[in-house]
Structures are given as structure tokens and as C-alpha cells.
Amino acid sequence: MMDYQKYIIPNTATIMDALISLNRLSNDILTLLILDKENRMVGTLTDGDIRRHLINGSSLTDSVSKVMNTSFQYIFDYKITVSEIQRFKSLNISLLPCLNGNNEILRVWNLKKLNSLLPVDAVLMAGGKGERLRPLTEKTPKPLLKVGDKSIIDYNIEQMISYGIENISVTVNYLKEQIQEHFEIEINDVKVKCVEEPAFLGTLGSIKFVENLKNDTVLIMNSDLFTNINYEEFYIHFLESNADMSVAAVPYSVNIPYGIFDLNGKEIQSVKEKPIYNYYANAGIYLIKRELIDFIPSNIVFNATDLMEMLISRGFSVTRYPLMGYWIDIGKPEDYNKAQEFVKHITK
């Protein structure tokens, strides 16, 4: 969680005090949050605000309460929508405070560092043995293999955090102690929770052991993916589709190097010369309504495809979200090598 104390200044401070505080921020966001003696937020102040008031005759000894902006932007009690975040970003809001009913600050977000603030919990599946990547995975769990200078799973977690997702759990099994030790250290001020899978339960079965889900929507993904999926667009698509489950999908083309017959019995109706068939493949990233987790059976192998088929058979809405960014499923040595080459060309 972001430490916002460096942005705080009392409303009894002078403009000179404010300038000193802004100078300490240096290359940080040059915005101060003004509190009264009851610790209620009453305004904001930027270097631009001070400059304009000084030009108009204010003195350095004047109180910041005379020059602060009292019509500041904030959210109330963690209640926020994606459209609101987009509006704040369009207004170039840098610091977004969250206030309670007494106008006390609950927390502050730096919107310059966030792509969005999604009301979503996340679960990454990291219990597999990664057998196709042996010998690399004989002593190291696949999610902890390095791509460039970071573990595979850390790319995914940092990407989630950049979209404001902070309630993140990782289900572990194979070489679980290494993953648990890895996440003893917070990532970007977020504590990732490890949940032990008692047996190998497929790509979805272990989610039944995650107990700390808070939001109505849950993001589930395989931990061995290397992708820049836009989680905000994925979430908006999920809402606008009124879906119960949405599946990220990647384009997949099959090139047939021969002429293909269209037959009616023995009769050739037509010939398609070297056709290309276009499909969408499961990307291993899902959004589901939290209540649907109750449908997942306990202590048996259960995959994401099993849940899709179950929901479809019961009349629920399962939609496809086309993933248009990059995506690599690191399952085989050639996939791992591809990711190693690809990461060299990503702008950091």
C-alpha cells in the first residue's frame, strides 16, 4: 500500500511551509493533501496553485487554507467504477484519495503508476510440475524460472498490480516451499498470499481452497503465461457482455499445404487450394463471477474447460475475449526460449 504521508500538510501551514514540502517531493507528484486538525481532508495544493496565487498578490506567510483547492477529486469508501477511473485519468489527476464518511483518508492511489483500479480478486495457478520443461523444472518450479531478470510469475503479478488488483493469491503444490519463500517479500507493496493445494487438482480445482476472496469478480490465470493482456479492457468486456465467465482467447491459424476437397459422399463438390482456417485458442486467463466457485467440486481434478462446459450446459453465459497483445504459454523448451528472446525487445 502506498505511503502517502509525505503528501500530507495541515491547513495551519503557510505557503512557505507548502513550498518546502513540495521541494522535498522533488521528482515525485507535486501535489499536497491538506488536512484540518481533526485529520479530515479539506483540500489539495499544487505548485501551480501556489504560483498563481503569488502572482495575484498572496504572501509566503499566508495560510495554505487561503489558496488550496477545495473542489478536489476523490472516491468514497472504496466505491469506484472503471469509468470513474478513466475520467480521473482524462483529467490528469495524479493523486486519488479514498475518504470515509468523516472525510478521513483511507488510502491514496498514484494514478500515474496505475493503468486502472479494478474491483477484482486474482488467483494464479502455480501448482503444476512443468514436466515438459525438464530438466529446468527438476529443482525449480516453473513459475519461478527466470525470463530475462525476473521470474515468470512476477511479470503476471506486477501486471495485475498495475491495474489496481491487490488481493492476489497463488495456489501452490510442486516445490511449494520455494514459491512460498519467494512471496515472503512483497511485490510493489502488495503481499501475495500462497494457498497450498493438497493434491494435483487440475487447472481450477485448487481455487476452492482460496478463502479470502472479497470482490464479486475473480480473475484466474495460469502462472506460466507471458502476456501483456489489458485487464481493464478484459473486465469491461466481461461487464458489457453480462457474462458469467469470460475466457481470454488468442488467434490461432491452421495452414493446410494441400488442396482440400469439399465432398458429398464420393462426389467432389469443390476444391479449396491450401486453405487457411482461423480459430481462437484458450489463453488460460478467465474472469468469473465469484459465486460460480461454488459449482466447482471439492478434492477432485477439475479444469477450467470443465467449468466452461458445465456452465454452458446449465445455460450460463460464457464469452470469448480476443486477446490482441502478445501471449506466450511457456510449456515447452521452445516456448521458454521464445520468451527469453522476446523479453529483450520489450521497452521497460
Q: Residue 14: what pLDDT?
A: 92
* Interval 180-202 mean pLDDT: 89
Question: Predicted confidence band at 159 (pLDDT cuts at 50, 70, 90)?
Answer: very high
How far apart (Å, rounded) are the C-alpha atoms in residues 239 and 314?
Answer: 20
Tell me the residue type at 303. N
pLDDT at 131 exceeding the cut of 50: yes
Percent over 90 (pLDDT), the chain:
43
Identify the CATH homologous superfamily for domain 120-343: Spore Coat Polysaccharide Biosynthesis Protein SpsA; Chain A (3.90.550.10)
Residues 302-314 have pLDDT tens digits of: 999 999 999 999 9
Contact 330/224 with Cβ under 8 angstroms?
yes
pLDDT band at residue 1 using 50, 70 and 90 as cut-offs: low
The pLDDT assigned to 346 comes to: 72
Residue bearing cell 460460480? 292
pLDDT, residue 2, reads 67
The model's confidence at residue 342, banded by pLDDT at 50, 70 and 90, is confident
Encode pLDDT of 285-339 as tens digits. 999 999 999 999 888 899 999 999 999 999 999 999 999 888 888 888 888 888 8
* CA–CA distance, 89 with 45 (Å, rounded to integer): 18
Residue spans of the domains in the chain: they are: 5-110, 120-343
pTM: 0.86
Average pLDDT, the chain: 89
Task: Provide the b/e sequence for 224-240 (b: ≥16 CB within 10 Å).
Answer: bbbbebbbbbbbbbbee
* Predicted confidence (pLDDT) per residue in 147-156, tens digit: 888 898 999 9
Per-residue pLDDT, averaged over 211-215, amounts to 89
Choose the most confident range, by mean pLDDT, from 79-93, 104-118, 236-250, 259-273. 236-250
**Mean pLDDT of all residues in 108-133:** 88
Q: Which fold has domain 5-110?
A: CBS-domain (3.10.580)
Cell of 310: 458445465
Checking if the pLDDT of 100 tops 60, the result is yes
Average pLDDT over residues 144-170: 92
Q: What is the mean pLDDT of residues 124-129?
A: 85
Confidence of residue 229 (pLDDT cuts 50, 70, 90): very high
pLDDT of 51 higher than 90: no
Helix axes 82-90, 231-240, angle to 10 degrees: 130
Q: Residue 201 has what pLDDT?
A: 85
Banded pLDDT at 348 (limits 50, 70, 90): very low
Strand-pair category, 327-329 with 225-227: antiparallel
Q: Which residues contact 303 (CB under 8 A, 6 or more apart)?
A: 202, 203, 204, 205
Which of the four pLDDT bands, split at 50, 70 and 90, describes residue 341?
Answer: confident
Query: Which of 178, 181, 158, 182 shows the shortest CA–CA distance to 168?
Result: 158
